Homo-oligomer: A and B are copies of this chain.
Amino acid sequence: MLTQERRDLMVAYINEKNAVTVADLMKEFDASAATVRRDLSVLHDERRILKVFGGATSISSLDVNTKEPSVTAKASLNVEEKDKISKYAASLINDDDFVYIDSGTTTLEMIKYIENTRAKYITNGIVHAKKLLEKGLDTMIIGGKCKPTTEAIIGPDCVEGIRRYHFTKAFMGTNGISVDAGFTTPDVDEARVKREAVGHSYISYILADHSKFGQISSVTFAEISSCCIITDKEVNKNYSSKTIIKVVS
């Protein structure tokens, strides 16, 4: 059997079983322990499996949730709500709109549902730009420094880049919403970019599920009354007096 063939089959085998020992693989593929370990090391380097002590596990079972490792179980439950929010946000885009799409997972979700091909789109998310292009949309990207973790574009060049445009609609993500602190995010540089984007948009929409209400991160990027919040549940009447909230059923 070919080396490559054995490794390909090994990946399939591990994915099927989800977790296997070195001994299992030795029997299954009739190879020595050294060979199996070598294979696992290679496949691990290729990111095709996860090599662990004693054997290997499928990578796919974990990879789904690794996007935001610090997020607690509480937040990850709101998948369905986020989906509805994204869908509604996408439906707001009209012909000839000049749309800014903020980096972040919520806005990324939104791109799936965008249907309007007559609008123009601009984003500071690398993955966002790629997704927009794949949908055949008229896409632009803001230049600047790339942030490793979130694959967002930030920095002074980015801020300056935004400054020359005037969007009709901006779709933003946030980490916290509070009446006093407004919309907040943990990263200073990201906050600057967000602030500039909101400032250069005719209307700004914040996409946030109900868990974001009452949360405050380190840096404010917009006042509570400057944006329209799209959410799934209005948790507190305090907010309605300050800003417009669209509750998605």
Contacts and interface: CB of A to CB of B under 8 A. Distances in A.
Interface of A: 1-5, 8, 18-21, 50, 52-55, 57, 61-62, 126-127, 129-130, 132-133, 136, 139-146, 148, 151, 153, 155, 157-158, 161
Nearest to A145: B140
A142 B143 contact: yes
Contact of A146 (B19, B61, B133): B133
A157 B136 contact: no
A133 B126 contact: yes
Contact of A143 (B8, B133, B143, B151): B143
B141 A153 contact: yes
Contacts of A55: 2, 5
Contacts of A50: 4
A215 to B, nearest CB: 28
Contacts of A141: 126, 141, 143-144, 146, 153
B146 A144 contact: no
A57 B5 contact: yes
Nearest to A155: B140
A140 B143 contact: yes
A19 B3 contact: no
Contacts of A140: 143-146, 155, 157
A164 to B, nearest CB: 8
Contacts of A18: 5
Contact of A148 (B62, B126, B133, B151): B133
A4 B57 contact: yes
Interface centre among A3, A136, A146, A153, by most chain B C-beta atoms within 10 angstroms, is A146
18 contacts: A2-B21, A2-B53, A2-B54, A3-B53, A4-B57, A5-B19, A126-B129, A129-B146, A130-B130, A133-B146, A133-B148, A139-B148, A141-B146, A141-B153, A143-B144, A143-B153, A143-B157, A143-B158
